[in-house]
Amino acid sequence: MPKLPPHLSFPILFSQNELLNQIGMEENTEIKLLWLKILRLVARNIAIIFIIFILAMFIGEGGVWKFSSASIPLHTRDYIILSLWGLYVAGLLIGLWRERLGGLLSLVFMAINIIIFTIEGDKNLTNFYVLLLPSILYILSWYFHHRFARQP
């Protein structure tokens, strides 16, 4: 039996992967896994840098001891914002092991912090938006990991 040209012998009921394999364009899962590892590495490194930076600012201000004995008394709003920062850092730390949980926690707590500052009328919140980067990278890393894991 003579062999038909590829465009004539193309079966209709194939999955996307089978179609790609038939025309010689199989998906390269090694490249996907490499990009996933790079994304995770970048997310974790940025999170660690942010954690070190935030802790250095907190320690530079005197930590808990100097805050409690400050000449300017702290109000309820200040304690709420400090606790949100602590929960944000906790979310980044959790994200080192559980990307989805850590990403969501840190994203939610920093978003609440941004909302509080927006309600108070602060106009320059660009630096707070930058702090959302590791949270978004954690969530993307988790999403792509589960998306690739479900493929046959």
| 13-43 residue pLDDT tens | 445 555 445 544 445 667 777 888 888 999 9
Contact 80, 95 (CB under 8 A): no
Least confident piece of the model among 28-32, 91-95, 117-121? 28-32
In the predicted model, is pLDDT for residue 101 greater than 80?
A: yes
For residue 113, give the 3-state DSSP assignment. Answer: helix
Least Cα distance to 95 among 46, 37, 130, 35 occurs for: 46
Structure token digits, residue 26 = 């199989």
- 40 or 70, which is more confident: 40
Name the residue with tokens 């490499």: 34
Identify which of 135, 108, 147 has the alpha carbon closest to the alpha carbon of residue 43: 135
Question: Residue 126: pLDDT band by 50, 70, 90 thresholds?
Answer: confident
Catalogue the E-assigned strands of the chain: none
Amino acid at 17: N
Distance (Å, rounded) from C-alpha 47 to C-alpha 101?
14
Q: Which of 35-39, 46-50, 100-104 has the lowest mean pLDDT?
A: 35-39
Instruction: Give how far the C-alpha of residue 9 lies from the chain's centroid of Cα atoms, to the nearest Å.
Output: 45
